[in-house]
Amino acid sequence: MQLASLLPQLSETTVLVVGLIFGVVFALLAVFLQKLAIGIAGFLAGGFILTTLFARLGVESLSNWVVYLIGGLIGIVLVLLLFDWTLIIFSSMAGAALLLQSFSTQTPAGVLIFFLLSLVGIIIQGGLMLRERRGRR
């Protein structure tokens, strides 16, 4: 839905439908083309996180699409090089960004809350992953 909402002049219903279609298409890709799907997920998460972060910081010097593309490219590189940790970091940051969308304020406190929520998610998920790996040995 985040990607669909960047398309110009779409109604909320159309954004919802397009978002659902994107979700179904990418779910099918995950089953059949796992590596490609991982790269796409990294792109989408990276783009979403960077545009959310720029919006929270009030940075408007670049187009949303440029920021999304930069974040997406960073996301692809990270997810392909460090899959487990990138998945943990991106899911934590995306979750924090989703939680912050309910707040309309664009203050520096929002950025601090974003990073704190992200850190909590990273610590919890990272701890669970390390505990699971130790249990296998």
pLDDT tens-digit series, residues 88-111: 988 999 888 888 877 766 667 778
Q: The pTM is what?
A: 0.57
pLDDT band at 75 (very low <50, low <70, confident <90, very high): very high
φ/ψ region of 17 (left if φ > 0, alpha if ψ in -120 to 50, else beta) reads alpha
> Would you say residue 55 has pLDDT above 90?
no
pLDDT at position 17: 87
pLDDT at position 106: 64
How many CA atoms are closer than 13 Å to the CA of 22, on its beta-carbon side? 14
Residue closest to 42 by CA, chosen among 76, 2, 18, 93: 76
